[in-house]
Amino acid sequence: MSSRAARSPDRPDPADLPPTYDFRAAEERWTRHWLESDTFRADPESGREPYCIVIPPPNVTGSLHMGHALDNTIQDVLIRWRRMQGYETLWLPGTDHAGIATQYVVEKRLAEEGLNRQELGRERFLERVWAWKDEYEATILGQLKRLGASCDWSRTAFTLDEPRSRAVREVFVHLYRRGLIYRGEYIVNWCPRCRTTLADLEVEHEEHDGKLYTVRYPVEGGGSISVATTRPETMLGDTGVAVHPDDPRYRDQVGRTALLPVLGRRLPIVADPWVDREFGTGAVKVTPAHDPDDFELGRRHGLGLVKAIDEDARMTAEAGPYAGLDRHACREALVRQLQAEGHLEKVEPHRHAVGHCYRCETVVEPLVSRQWFVKTRPLAEPAMAAVRDGRTRIVPERFEKVYFHWLENIRDWPVSRQLWWGHRIPAWTCQAGHLTVDTEAPAACAECGSGDLVQDPDVLDTWFSSALWPFSTLGWPERTRDLEVFYPTSVLVTGYDILFFWVARMMFMGLEFMREVPFRTVFLHGLIRDAEGRKMSKSRGNAMDPLEIIEAVGADTLRWSLITGNTPGNDMRYSSEKIEGARNFANKIWNAARFTLQNLADFEPSGPGEAAAGEARPDGLELADRWILSRYRRAAGEVTRLLDRFELGEAARVLYDFVWSELCDWYIELAKARLYGDGPAARRVAQQTLWQVMEGTMRLLHPFMPFLSEDVWQRLPRRRGDRETLALAPWPAPDAALADAEAESRMELVMAVTRALRNLRSEVNLPPTRRAYAVLRATSPEALAVLDGARDYVARLAAAGRLDLSAARPGQGPPPQALAAVVPGCEIYLPLAGLVDLDREIARLEKDLAAAATTLARARQRLGDPMFRSRAPEEVVRREEQKAAEAEELVQRLKARLAGLRD
């Protein structure tokens, strides 16, 4: 009992081993244990090197989807790994208020009750949204816990809670005072359904089949000019016509005045190099109030602004006879009139991009309005510099290009939203129209002292507050210890789809307010798609619910299925086969653990696990022990190296191969002889090795499958000083003492011989229950020695009842009536009187011979090339020589065998 100190009260009985892994019990048990013992709470005073991840806060619009499951699994793998490595880890959780989206879903729910927010009023509407937020925040945090997320829940944040709101006000005021926030009349994207402004990013462009209308405008003093447009209704807001200055077709028209059909408005004809001569007629109508490019062009030429479409997407009084009509109805009616009056020259089919609101998919209307903007250029420069000089690294690197391109072409960021759910803009206006911007409601106007102040009714873009997330969550604007220790955070893990929305803007704000990047590394992953490669979405009905998967197969299986086969930055198709594969792997591990535990009941570790480094290797290790320890060490090194490079999928693959193809397929099989018989000393050595490898493997597995690995690990025999939870156990360190190239190459021979024998058996469908007689003839003294020490291995794994091993002698004939195979180092015979089909045997050997001959020919050709010998690295030449020698041996022996058979 003494050596089993530190036994957790939650530690399951090692002997209680149901035949299949009970993930429900394990998940419940370890979630509770970790929470109760505060395993994941970060301590800024520990003095350990910090490693911090701030969660990309999920929206409180709904529950988590597969993309979240992936995002958070990746974060958890990284944070658990670093925690085991001894870093002071902080994974800070939280949620996002998602202004427009949340307001939209709550409004939808109200509509179901026959209500709308206007009737309810701002205050009562917000109460409803807060209630919604409480409900979904709880759901989301619960889902994260179910996933196994090892967050420090004591620090949970919300973008709209008081500390974060204070940060928002501070930032707004600071930027305003620095002149980086301004208010002005500019063209913005307007969603008529949400009745709010949208940033360019929030508009999704979609190709539509539309029409290109060519309309003839009369010109004062005679003649006409024809313009092409995809949106004829906007002509009611035209204030000019533009042509290219070098376009000879229109040189004479520049400076004259066109007359707008229907309204007769006078439109100056201007020349501007922006105009594309190739498009349409080469002349364009200019509608500054309803097109961003026209807006700029209109400014350059002093053209007026005529707002023909209002915030409800209806035509304004400026539209004359069309006032009050919906924009779509107006188009139809107007086109009819133009045609009737002979102004419509032609209509052609035309594909063009139409902007849609990213939340409600309504067609966006560009229009001029008064909004708050963030001046982005001064913020973008430092954000680019930080990536350029490596203070922040983007993984995979190719996204740096995308990042730079966007920042180089960035436009000012409209941050006011005509919503109720969000951070109210800290700006007040007095009756005289003076503006006061402050972090708290001012008592009097800063300019005239009036106490009659009205706060701006608008709220800020959600991304404005998300941009502060890496430091607002750590306590800013207070100068907290958390900020000091954990900022800059270590890594940001998120999908590449919000590189601009979020990542770039966090860079702006972090650099402006902390004078330091918000994260050292940005790790971008791809999107989860369905089995057919389509994006998963609720509306499409192909979404999978991570919680349902957890209920069905367990969180570890879900996690593994998301991590394996996933490469950085690439989308991933997700299917039930992936889940099945992961579940099978979990089951495989459970059964390997069951086997181990069943054979370790009387074992107490005393030898060196890696946890106690520096101890000597125990005596009595056999080849198989040395081999598996060496392979384990290699796997541990590889997994570590790959995690370090964010290659989580590859790391998982290495683990999978090690566990399944080496530990289970070979080592466990080879250990059975000693565990089941052989005497106490040998048994003890096998137990020691098995324990050591399993214990270490559970540690390697833990970041990926925290519940299963913990559940197994807790059942394993343990030593004094072991941690109470695997989550805090040390990560396997590279242990040079375990490396054993000799054991690896010897086992390779043993495995090759075994496989060859199995192959021969399979050729004649010899079932494993029929023990066979096998003859091995080693072709070198080294091989003979190796095989002599491993004859039990071969006999066991190839189901040989009797096994004769000798040195191959020249001129020696083969055993009679035998199937034959050759591997480098050994001839293999399976004497099977009556079962040998001579023709088939010859065919098989000929095939082997052909393969070996091809290898030999290729190797010889390369070795015969003097350029190869002089230019290729020595190591490569040596390997090629070895290859040639082995192939030659195979060729000779196969030829000899065939000659014998043909006689």
Partner RNA sequence: GGGCGAAUAGCUCAGCGGAAGAGCGCGCGCCUUACAAGCGCGAGGUCCCAGGUUCGAACCCUGGUUCGCCCA
Which of the residues 328 through 357 are near RNA (CB under 7 A)? 353
Handedness of CA 547, 548, 552, 557 (dihedral sign): negative
Please report, as residue ranges, which positions from 191 to 250 form the binding site for RNA (by CB under 7 A). 200-201, 204-205
Question: Could you tell me the two tokens for 171?
Answer: 């930032």
Give ∠ CA 73-75-76 in degrees, rounded to 5.
65
The candidate with the shortest Cα–Cα distance to 693, out of 674, 720, 673, 666, is 666
Q: Which of 63, 257, 369, 570 touches RNA (CB under 7 A)?
A: 570
Site map (CB under 7 A) of RNA, residues 32-71, x = contact: ----------------------------------------
Report the C-alpha gap between 194 and 96 in whole angstroms.
Answer: 19
Contact between 537 and RNA per CB under 7 A:
no
CB of 653 to RNA, least distance (A): 6
Report the C-alpha gap between 298 and 286 in whole angstroms.
Answer: 7
Residue 178 Cα distances to 181, 379, 384, angstroms: 8, 12, 20
Q: Which of 516, 865, 878, 900 touches RNA (CB under 7 A)?
A: 865
Report the C-alpha gap between 67 and 525 in whole angstroms.
Answer: 10
Contact between 178 and RNA per CB under 7 A:
no
Please report, as residue ranges, which positions from 747 to 766 form the binding site for RNA (by CB under 7 A). 755, 758-759, 761-763, 765
Contact between 481 and RNA per CB under 7 A:
no
Q: Of 80-88, 314-322, 514-522, 570-578, which segment contacts RNA by CB under 7 A?
A: 570-578
Please report, as residue ranges, which positions from 766 to 805 form the binding site for RNA (by CB under 7 A). 767-769
CB of 132 to RNA, least distance (A): 28
The candidate with the shortest Cα–Cα distance to 225, out of 199, 252, 201, is 252
Q: Is the Cβ of residue 118 or residue 870 nearer to RNA in the bound state?
A: 870
The candidate with the shortest Cα–Cα distance to 290, out of 166, 190, 176, 169, is 190
Q: Does residue 396 have a cis bond before it (omega within 30 degrees)?
A: yes
Site map (CB under 7 A) of RNA, residues 820-849, x = contact: ------------------------------
Question: Could you tell me the two tokens for 688?
Answer: 């020691």
Q: Which of 178, 195, 377, 398 touches RNA (CB under 7 A)?
A: 398
What residues does 346 pair with on adjacent strands?
Answer: 214
**Residue position matching structure tokens 């918000």:** 518
CB of 23 to RNA, least distance (A): 9
Q: What is the DSSP letter of 44?
A: T
Report the C-alpha gap between 331 and 680 in whole angstroms.
Answer: 93
Q: Is the Cβ of residue 462 or residue 725 nearer to RNA in the bound state?
A: 462
Contact between 653 and RNA per CB under 7 A:
yes
Q: Is the Cβ of residue 332 or residue 497 nearer to RNA in the bound state?
A: 497
Contact between 588 and RNA per CB under 7 A:
yes
Q: Is 513 in contact with 471 (CB distance < 8 Å)?
A: yes
Site map (CB under 7 A) of RNA, residues 507-536, x = contact: ------------------------x-x---
Q: Is 55 in contact with 746 (CB distance < 8 Å)?
A: no
Q: Which residues contact 685 (CB under 8 A, 6 or more apart)?
A: 618, 620, 621, 622, 625, 674
Phi, psi at 100, each rounded to 5°: -65, -40
Contact between 539 and RNA per CB under 7 A:
no
313: region left, alpha or beta (phi > 0 left; psi from -120 to 50 alpha):
left
Q: Is 198 in contact with 190 (CB distance < 8 Å)?
A: yes
The candidate with the shortest Cα–Cα distance to 710, out of 719, 718, 701, is 701
- In this structure, the dihedral spanned by the alpha carbons of residues 702, 708, 712 and 714, taken in order and rounded to 10 degrees, is 70
Q: Which of 478, 497, 548, 837 touches RNA (CB under 7 A)?
A: 497
Question: Could you tell me the two tokens for 850?
Answer: 């052909």
Q: Which of 5, 111, 857, 876 touches RNA (CB under 7 A)?
A: 876
Report the C-alpha gap between 809 and 166 in whole angstroms.
Answer: 88
CB of 808 to RNA, least distance (A): 21
Q: Of 251-259, 575-583, 625-633, 686-694, which segment contacts RNA by CB under 7 A?
A: 575-583
Q: Which of 647, 722, 841, 889 touches RNA (CB under 7 A)?
A: 647
Q: Is the Cβ of residue 158 or residue 373 nearer to RNA in the bound state?
A: 373
For strands 181-191 and 196-198, give the pairing. Answer: antiparallel
CB of 878 to RNA, least distance (A): 10
Q: Of 282-290, 517-525, 733-741, 855-863, which segment contacts RNA by CB under 7 A?
A: 855-863
CB of 762 to RNA, least distance (A): 3
CB of 795 to RNA, least distance (A): 13
Q: Is the Cβ of residue 259 or residue 402 nearer to RNA in the bound state?
A: 402
Identity (one letter) of the amino acid at 47?
Answer: G
Contact between 883 and RNA per CB under 7 A:
yes
Q: Is the Cβ of residue 49 or residue 665 nearer to RNA in the bound state?
A: 665
CB of 791 to RNA, least distance (A): 18
Please report, as residue ranges, which positions from 662 to 681 form the binding site for RNA (by CB under 7 A). 664-665, 668-669, 672
Number of residues that bind RNA (CB under 7 A): 73
Report the C-alpha gap between 132 and 103 in whole angstroms.
Answer: 10
Q: Which of 1, 616, 867, 899 touches RNA (CB under 7 A)?
A: 867
Site map (CB under 7 A) of RNA, residues 715-754, x = contact: ----------------------------------------
The candidate with the shortest Cα–Cα distance to 500, out of 206, 292, 202, 205, is 202
